[in-house]
Chains A and B, each alone.
Chain A
C-alpha cells in the first residue's frame, strides 16, 4: 500500500544523495589534479576514468596507479591465463556510448602492434580451420595465446576446433578443462554456449530453446540483447543500447575488445534505421583507429559510412566478380578456386565458384580435406545450384546450421543473406538490420555492390570515384554495368542485342527496383526468347533465375494471375526449384481475396497447393472449390469432361490439388470411402489419359489397401456377435438326431396308443399347431383353421422337444469351440472392451495404470508436473482425484464386462443381459406354435437357431440401449464429478494449465460418448461379409488400427514375407489371433506404450505360414519371474484339453488357449504349433511367440 514518505526520511535521502554527489565531485576534482584519493572505491575510480576525465587526465591517473590497481582498472587486456579474463567482473556502465567507445579505443591504440599481429594470424588461422588443417589451426591459436593474449575468442576457437576435428567428446573435454580452470562467469558463459552451439547434432530449435531457458533464468531484460548478440545472433532481436556489449566485452582481452568494437560498428551501420549520432561516433573513432590498425573491416565500414573510395589490400574479389559478369565462367572457376583457397571464409567467393561449376557442368575437386567446413559448404551450395532428383530443401537447414556454428562471422552472414535471397517466403531472421548490408561490410573485400548501402547523396558518384582512384578498376565490367544501371542505362543508344545475359538480368532487376515494370518484363522476355541464350538457359538454375526475376516483377506490379501462372509453369517443369517462386505478397493477395473472379483461373489453386507449407489448407480448398464452381462442377469427377491432357495445369490440378488434404473439406463426399474412391477415380482417369501412369499405380494400390483395411475394421466390429453355426450343427447332429427321429415317430402314433405307452408321464396331452396337409383346404373362418390344425400329442413329446431345444440352446451359448459365450469372451471381454474404453482417456493421459505391487494406481505424473505451483496438500488431493477417476472408470468397465456382458439362463443365473432363459410356458408356446409340427431334423435345428437368433436380436437391442443410456450416463457422471472436484480444488483454477486439463476432460466426455456409441454397435448382428479376400498386410493394418489408441506411441514393425491371399471368411479369426498377440505385448510387457517395441514377422515355411511376434518387456526381476509363471501355466493349459476348455471363455490370462482355439476350431488347422517364451540373453529381455499352421485350404477359391 502506497504511503506518503516521511518528510524527515525524504530529507535524509536527498541529503545523502547530495553528500554522495559532492563526494564524487571531490573525487573527480582530485583525480583531475593528479591526486588519487586514498581508499577510493573501485567503482568511483573506473567511473571517473571512463566518463568524467579527459584523455590527458586519464593518462595522468593511470600513470600513477600501482600495478595491481592499474591492472584492475584496465582489466587485463593482455591475459596470460583464462582466469585473468574479466577477472574482477566489474561492470561500470553509464550508458554513454561515446565514452565507452573512447575508453575502448584507448586500449586499441595502446595495443595496436599486438592487434595487427593478431589480425594477420587470424587470417592464417581461418584459412587452416576452414580447409580442415586443424593441426595447423591449433598451432596458430597456441601462437596467438602465447605471443599476444588468451581471449574469449581463442577459447571459442579451441572449442570449434575440438568439435570439428575430433567430435562431441573432444568438445566437451576442452570445455571441462576450461571450466575447471576457474573461468570467470562471463567467459564461462561464452565458452559453455559456444560449446553447445557448435555441437553437430543439436538442432536449431533445441539450441534456441536452451537459450530461451537461459534468458528466463537470468531474468534480466537489459541483458537479453547481450546474450543474443553473443551466442544466438540470428534470432529476431533488436539492440538500441550498445553500451552493454562494449562494457562487458570491454573487460575481456584486447582481442575481444577490438572484435566487439568492430562488430558493434558493423551492426550499427547495418541497422535499417541507423541512429545518426551513434554512427557518427563510431565513424570518427574508426577513422582514427584506421591510422594504426591495418584491417579491411575498418575500410569497409568507413566506406559505407562516408561513401568515399578507399584503398584495399587486395582486389582479387572484384577480378573474380568481373569474370562472372563477363560470363567467362572458365576464368571464374580458376579465379574462384584460387580465391577460396586463400579466403575459405568468403561465402561470396564460394558462391561464385559454385555457380561457375554449375554453369560449366563440371565436377568439383577437393580444395580442403573432404570433411572440412569448406568442402561441406561447397557440397551444400552445389546441391542448391544443381538440384538432382533427390534434392530436398533440408539443404537450407543444413547450411543454416553452419551459419549458427560461427554466429556473427562474415561466412555466416553470407550464408544467411544467401538463404534469405533463395527463400523469399521465409521471414527475415533479423528485422532490425539489413542483412545484405551486414554481410557486405563484414567481408574484407571490395565489392562494388556496396554502392547500394552508400549514403544516397553519394551513390551516383561513388563508383565513378572508385574507378578514378584505382586504374585497375577503371575497366571493371561489373562496375561499368552497375554505373550504367544507376545512370539509367536504357535511355542510351546501346542496343539490347549487344549485352550479355548477366547484364540484361541486372538491367531487368534495376528496372524493377525503379518501378519500370513493363520495361523490366520486356527485358526478361527478351532473355527467355532470344536464341543467343538458348544454350545458357539449358542450365536449370540459370533459367529459373531469369524466370524468378520475371516472377518478382509480375508480383511487384500486381499482375497476380500472370505471376501465379508463371510460377506454376516453372514449378511443374522444375519442381526442385519450388522455393524460388513462393512470394509472401502473392500468397497474401490470393488468401485475402477469395473472390471467384480471381479464383476462376486454374493457376490459383495449383499455385496455392505448391505453397501449402506456408498457408492454411483452407485457402487451397477455397481455391479448388471456386475453380470447380466456375466450371460448373462440384467434384473432380465432374471436371473430367473438361480436362485437357495436354494442359499441364489441368494435370497439376487433378494430380496435386485434388488430394485428401483438399477433398476432405468438400461437403460432396459423405465419408472416407467416398473420398478415397474419388481419389482412386482421379488416379485411374489420369493413368488412362496420360502416357506416363507410373505415379498413379502405387497411389491407387495404396488407397485400395486402405479401403480394404477399413472394410476389415468394419468386419472386426460386425463380427463381435458370432456363433459358429456350422461347427455347432455337426455336433448337434451327432448328439440329437436320434432323439429327434424318435420324437417324430412318437408324434405319428394314434393318441390312445400314445396314452398307453406314455403311462409313466401321466395322461397329459399337449396341443400343437400342425401344417395343413392339403393346401387347398382353406378354412372359411380363423377359428376353423385353429380347429382344423389343432393336434394333440403326449406331454412326453413336449419334454423331448424341451430337452432338445435346451440342449441346442446350451450348445449355442456355451459350446467351447463354437458357442456365443466363447466369442463374447474372445472378441469383446478379453482386453478389447476395457482397452477400447480406457484408450479414450489415455489419449490425454487422464488415467494411469494399476500398480500390482503397491495395489494402487500410479500417480499421474504427466498432469502433476503441469501444476508445479500447487501446494503440497492440493497436490495430494489432485493425485487422489486422478486415482479415483481411473478406479471409477475401470470399475464401470469391469462391471460391464464381468456382469453385463454375460449370459444368463434359468440354470446359469447371473446379472448378464444376454438372457436366454426360457420358462416352461414359453417353451410350451414355442412347441405349440412352431416346433410341434416339424418333422425334419435339419428344419428343427434351423428353427431352433432362428429362435435363438431372434432372442439374440431382442437381447442385443436391450444391451445397446443399456450401453447407450445407463452405461454412458454412468461414465458421464464419473467425468462430471471429476471436473467438479477439480474446479473446487483450492488454487486449481488459478493455475495456467487448469484450462488445458478441463479441456482434456471435456474432450474425453465427447469422445467417450461417441466411442460408447460405436461399442454399442458391436452388439448388432450382421451377416454382411465386408472382406472377400485379404492378405496379411491388410489384416495387420486392420488389427493394429483397431487397437491403435492403446498403442499410440508404440513402435510396431511389420516384416511381411507372406504373399498369400486368404478367403474373407477367415478374416475375423485371424484378427482374433493378432489382437491377442498385440494385447499380450501391451499388457504383459509392463512397459509404457512409448517404450514398447513390437516386431511382427510373417513368412512361408514349406506348406506352413509362420507368424513370429517379439516384444521387449520390463527387466524387473519380479516381473520376469511372474511372466515365467504365466508361461508355465499357459503351457500346462495348452497341453491339457480339459484345462483349456475351462479357460476358453474366461478373461485375464495370456490368451494362448484362445489363440489355439482359433487355430484348431475356427480355422480348423490340423497342423499347427504354438511356441512362446522369454529371451533373456539379449540387451533387453524379450517375449517371443511363434505360430505355425498349414495354409493350403485357407485361400479363396476362384472359379
Chain B
C-alpha cells in the first residue's frame, strides 16, 4: 500500500508519519508539505490513500520563502483535481479545525463532510479531526488503513 501525507505542520506531519509507519511496516510512505508538491506527487505517482490537510501553503516553505500564499481550502482544491484528473486515490482529510472555509464563510466539519461526500463520491472517504492530545483520530484512521491492507 502506498500512502501520501500532505501536511505543512511539521509536528502534525511527524505524528501522522510515525503512526502510519507503526501501523504497517510494509506500506510505502511519502510526505509533502504544500498544495503544489502534494498535487505534483499525486499526478506523478499512484497512491492508495492520501491523508490531506485542509489548509496548506501554496508552495513548500523553504528558508527565505513564504510559500507564496496560503490556500485556506487547499484540501478541497486537491480533491477537485483528483476528481478532474480521475486519480484513483482515496482521500481522508485530517484537520485540526472544527470548521473551515474561505472569504469569511465557515462551515462545520459535518457540513463539509456531507458536501465532499456528494461532490467527490469516488475519492473522498472521511474528514477526521486531528487533536494532538487525543487518540480518537488514530482509531478512525486505523479503520480506513485496515481496509487497504
Point out residues on A near B: beta carbons under 8 Å: 594, 618, 622, 664-672, 675, 710, 713-718, 964, 968, 972, 976, 995-996, 998-999, 1002-1003, 1005-1006, 1009-1010, 1013-1014, 1017, 1020
Candidates A666, A713, A1006, A1017; contact of B96 at CB < 8 Å: A1006
**How far is it, in angstroms, between the C-alpha of A1020 and the C-alpha of B62 when the chains are bound?**
13
Q: Does B110 contact A (CB under 8 A)?
A: no
Q: Smallest CB-CB separation from B53: which chain A residue?
A: A1006
**Given A618-B77, A1006-B55, A667-B9 contact (CB < 8 Å):** no
Nearest to A999 among chain B residues (CB) is: B97
State in angstroms the CA–CA spacing of A714 and B62 once bound together. Answer: 10
Q: Does B60 belong to the interface (CB within 8 Å)? A: yes
Q: Which residues of chain B from 65 to 82 have a CB within 8 Å of any chain A CB? A: 65, 68-69, 77, 80
- Whether A1009 touches B9, Cβ cut-off 8 Å, given contacts A618-B77, A718-B63, A1017-B63, is yes
Give min CB distance, A628 to chain B, whole Å.
Answer: 13
Smallest beta-carbon distance A1028→chain B, Å? 16
Q: Which positions 7-21 of chain B face chain A at CB distance < 8 Å? A: 8-12
Whether B96 and A671, one on each chain, are in contact in the complex, defined by CB atoms closer than 8 angstroms, is no
Cβ contact within 8 Å between B36 and A1014: no
Given contacts A664-B58, A1002-B96, 7 further A-B contacts (CB under 8 A): A667-B39, A669-B36, A671-B60, A675-B68, A710-B65, A716-B64, A1010-B10
Contacts of B60 in A (CB 8 A): 670-671
- Answer yes or no: B40 CB below 8 A from chain A CBs: yes
- Which residues from B are CB-within-8-Å of A718? 63-64
Q: Are A999 and B133 in contact (CB under 8 A)?
A: no
Q: Are B61 and A1010 interface neighbours, CB within 8 A? A: yes
Report yes or no: B77 in contact with A1010, Cβ–Cβ below 8 A: no
A894 to chain B, nearest CB (A): 23
B78-104 CB contact bits vs A (8 Å, 1 = yes)? 001000100000000000111110000
- The 11 sampled A-B contact pairs (Cβ below 8 Å) are A666-B36, A670-B37, A671-B65, A675-B68, A718-B64, A998-B98, A999-B98, A1002-B97, A1010-B10, A1013-B10, A1014-B63
Query: In the bound complex, do residue A671 and residue B62 qualify as a contact, i.e. CB atoms below 8 Å apart?
Result: yes
Contacting residues, chain B, for A1005 (C-beta < 8 A):
9, 96
Chain A proximity mask over B4-46: 1 for CB below 8 Å, otherwise 0: 0000111110000000000000000000000011011001000
B124 within 8 A of A: no
Q: How far is the CA of A471 from the CA of B82 in the complex (A)?
A: 71
Q: Which residues of A contact B39 (CB under 8 A)?
A: 667
Question: What distance in Å separates the Cβ of A453 from its nearest Cβ neighbour in chain B?
Answer: 39
* A670 and B59 contact, CB distance less than 8 A: yes
**Do B68 and A664 have beta carbons less than 8 Å apart?**
yes
A-chain residues with CB within 8 Å of residue B96 when the two chains form the complex: 1002, 1005-1006
Residues of A within 8 A of B55 (CB): 1003, 1006
Q: Total A-B residue pairs with C-beta atoms closer than 8 Å? A: 82
In the bound complex, residues from chain B placing their C-beta under 8 Å from that of A1002 are 96-97
Contact assessment for B8 and A1010 in the assembled complex, using a CB-CB cutoff below 8 Å: yes
B68 touches A671 (CB 8 A): yes
Q: Report chain A residues within 8 Å CB of B8.
A: 1006, 1010
| Among B12, B59, B77, contact of A671 (Cβ-Cβ < 8 Å) | B59
Say yes or no: A968 contacts B11, CB within 8 Å: yes
Q: Which 8 A-B pairs have the closest CB atoms?
A: A714-B64, A667-B40, A1017-B63, A667-B39, A672-B68, A671-B59, A1006-B9, A717-B64
Q: Are B77 and A665 in contact (CB under 8 A)?
A: yes
| Chain A positions within 8 Å of B37 at CB level | 667, 670
B interface size (C-beta, 8 A): 33
A1009 neighbours in B (Cβ, 8 Å)? 9-11
Determine which residue in B55, B64, B77, B100 has the highest number of CB atoms from chain A within 10 A of its CB, and name it: B64
Docked pose: A448 CA to B60 CA in angstroms: 65
What residues on A are CB-neighbors of B106 within 8 Å? 995-996, 999
In the bound complex, residues from chain B placing their C-beta under 8 Å from that of A671 are 36, 59-60, 62, 65, 68
B64 touches A972 (CB 8 A): no
Q: Least Cβ distance of A635 to chain B in Å?
A: 12
Q: Give A43 Cβ to nearest chain B Cβ, in Å.
A: 47
- Give Cα distance in the complex from A713 to B61, angstroms: 14
Complex Cα gap A710–B63 (Å): 11
Chain B residues contacting A713 (CB-CB under 8 Å) are 64
Could you tell me the distance between the alpha carbons of A995 and B111 in the complex, rounded to whole angstroms?
15
Most buried by B among A667, A999, A1013: A667
Closest Cβ neighbor of B43 among chain A residues: A667
- Chain B residues, CB < 8 A from A665: 77
CA gap between A658 and B36 in the complex, in Å: 17
A665–B71 Cα distance when bound, in Å, is 10
> How far is it, in angstroms, between the C-alpha of A212 and the C-alpha of B24 when the chains are bound?
58
Complex Cα distance A251/B106, Å?
46
Are A714 and B9 neighbours in the complex by a CB distance under 8 Å?
no
Residues of B within 8 A of A717 (CB): 63-64
CB <8 Å contact, B9 and A1010: yes
Cross-chain contact A664 with B69 (CB below 8 angstroms): yes
CA distance A715 to B63 in the complex (A): 10
A258 to chain B, nearest CB (A): 45
- For B69, what are the chain A residues with a Cβ–Cβ distance below 8 Å? 664
A961 to nearest B CB, angstroms? 13
Contact of A976 among B40, B68, B99, B132 (CB under 8 A): B132
**Minimum C-beta distance from A212 to chain B (A):** 16
User: Which residue of the partner chain A has the closest CB to B39?
Assistant: A667
Contacts of B64 in A (CB 8 A): 710, 713-718
Given known contacts A968-B11, A999-B97, A672 and B43 CB-to-CB distance under 8 angstroms: no
Q: Given the complex of chains A and B, what is the CA–CA distance between A1017 and B10 in angstroms? A: 14
User: What's the minimum C-beta distance from B83 to chain A, rounded to whole angstroms?
Assistant: 9
From B104, which residue of chain A is reached at the shortest CB distance?
A: A996
